[in-house]
Amino acid sequence: MKKTMERISLLSLSLMLISSFSITAGLPAMKAYFSRFGYTASQVELLVSLPAFAVVAMLFLNSVIERWMSERQMIVAGLLLFSTSGLLPLVVQDYPLIFLSRLLFGLGTGMINAKAISIISERYSGNDKTRMLGYRGSAEVVGSAILTFMVGQLLPLGWPAIFAVYGGGYLILLLYLLFVPYPKEKKQASLKEKKKGSARLRSPQWRFSLMLAVIAGIIICFNSIISLRVPDIIVDARMGTATTAGTVLSLMQLTGIVAGVGFASLTHVFKKNLLMIMCFGFGLALALIGLSGQLWSLVLGTLLAGFTYSTGVTSIFYHLSEKIPTNLLNLATSLVLIGCNLGSALSSFFIQLVTPLAPSNHLLFVWIGALMVLTGVFASQLLARTK
């Protein structure tokens, strides 16, 4: 029972890692509210992707903070900062203060981000590690799906109410404190390993990690665009309401459960080709969303996107854990996460950049679908060259 609760508690650390985009169903209402004070739609959308910039900053700072704080202290502090700042817009609706709270929210996320992933590769090995990494991917999207669904249900109470979902971080903190042990021997071994290998990534390892970071960043960027623009497509085309959009996005993320549970089997069957196949599938899903004229085809596209996105990202961290030594894994994971969060942070800017080429949401999704297929080709070449 203790071992089971330890696994559940470790997996729960990933439940809210990608939750900054869970509030997107409330964007139409937030845009309408802040437009009265002179804020543009782009400025409101920035509140969603803003935490990713803070996450990137914190990932750079983590190596410095680790000299003064243990892994446990960092995770506890991160969860406290995450939850407290996440709840602030519930009581304060001033744009500058919400802007600040979202930055603090990102810093809290950044303190636990790399730890939530590398802690699994450090504590488990072999098939157990592969399964746990798959379950971790599931936990990430399940958490996001639950929060997105809750946001849709809270929306009728007014957009500030949707930020109440971030209170769940306190429950995760409780589970972590109660059920994740840190034996003294493990602490000492961990400190020795850190010193010993202040070990740097060798040039091939650095390049491999960097290329995976680029691929992850592209996948995350395009997935973030789904969260940002699908609510607008649904509302503008009169396929449904903002609540409908919240339900569709939560269903999309729930396919991550299937992706996570089936990850070990898919890896066994497709091996190095899995990442390429998922990139191709994700590209197809994006194009389908862009070509959708009815709700059923949009839902089909988002479900396929949820499955391929989740499997693709988990595959990236799996390949990383297979090629990078354990004492360097936290560093390599941080590098890939920087790519992930830059992709998320730059998603709204990317939309503005390609607007001249893709002035409508439909063209935008077809265009990024094609780019995703090209990314799949690049991923295939990278893994084929890496021994």
Decide if 147 contacts 253 (C-beta within 8 A): no
Please state whether the predicted TM-score (pTM) of the whole model is above 0.85: no
Determine the average pLDDT of the residues in 285-291: 94
Which residues have a Cβ under 8 Å from the Cβ of 136 and sit 6 or more positions away?
A: 11, 14, 116, 117, 120, 260, 314
Question: What does the pLDDT look like over 254-280, one tens digit per residue?
Answer: 787 888 888 888 988 998 899 999 999
Which of 361, 222, 231 is closest to 282 using CA atoms?
Answer: 222
For the chain, domain boundaries: 2-385
Decide if 369 contacts 286 (C-beta within 8 A): yes
Determine the average pLDDT of the residues in 157-168: 95
Which of 382, 253, 372, 270 is closest to 320 using CA atoms?
Answer: 382
**Which residue shows structure tokens 């936290």?**
330
Which residues have a Cβ under 8 Å from the Cβ of 111 and sit 6 or more positions away?
A: 58, 62, 65, 74, 75, 77, 78, 81, 82
Question: What does the pLDDT look like over 186-216, one tens digit per residue?
Answer: 554 554 454 444 567 788 889 999 999 999 9
The Cα–Cα gap between 17 and 140 comes to 6
Question: What does the pLDDT look like over 83-119, one tens digit per residue?
Answer: 999 999 999 999 999 999 999 999 999 999 888 888 8
* Single-letter residue type at 189: A
Homologous superfamily in CATH for domain 2-385: MFS general substrate transporter like domains (1.20.1250.20)
Determine the average pLDDT of the residues in 169-196: 72
| Strands annotated E in 274-325 | none
Helices vs strands, H then E, count in the chain? 16, 0
